Amino acid sequence: MADRKPIESWLTDMDGVLIHEGVPIPGADAFIKKLRESGRPFLVLTNNSIYTPRDLHARLRRMGLEVPIENIWTSALATAKFLDDQRPNGSAYVIGEAGLTTALHDIGYILTDHEPDYVVLGETRTYSFEAMTKAVRLINDGARFICTNPDETGPSAEGPLPATGAVAALITKATGKQPYFAGKPNPLMMRTGLNTIGAHSESSAMIGDRMDTDVLAGIEAGMQTFLVLTGLTRPEQVENFPYRPSQVLDSIADLVDLI
């Protein structure tokens, strides 16, 4: 690996890196504790747009992981930042939960189904045919199509659930319009996240459990990348991709000493 600047700031995915099915992964508490004690800038990232940072802060705290609200960055926040830059004080028809609607409210967006500037699709456990039909008609009438993230499935105790990417494909098929995805693997999510903590990509690292989102986004944002094997990617799958992480590690516990 080419010489890189020392790592001064850290970005880490949440599910599959810090927690798994509601349980902290061994070493996650030590990693977060050492980050906070070091004073280094860091963010915990998630493509899930259902929850607000306050929700996630409370959820992680119940698991014994103390992550300040300002250190949580979601695809909903990245989407809101993108829309605020593109069209300040605009309007949107939103399919999603509080994480997304709150982020859009906070940037001054009007949520409406009357001639919105955008149709914004996020994660929800209650996708309705009525809402998808409304989205299709609004896009056909000229609304721009934005999605929080391209994940096609999400986890649940009963098994995989259809997620934003799968519903986006349905709307694309009905309209012929491809969405713009703001979340990982779009490096936009990484760059806007780095900007919020005043960090630079050349001295930052991304930790993830997925090659196709976490590692790819980190590489495209110019960061060092660490793949941990506590989530979705298996060791034998790494060679299936045309790019590689900086390092492959068993878990987040192996990174505590690098802080």
Q: Which residues are catalytic?
A: 13, 15
Q: How is residue 215 written in tokens?
A: 């590692």
- How many angstroms from the chain centroid is the CA of residue 212? 13
Cβ atoms of residues 206 and 227 within 8 Å: no
Closest CA to 256 of 217, 224, 226: 226
What is the Cα–Cα distance from 195 to 52, expressed in whole angstroms?
19
**Alpha carbon of 202 to those of 5, 169, 197, 225, 235: distances in Å?**
7, 35, 14, 11, 26
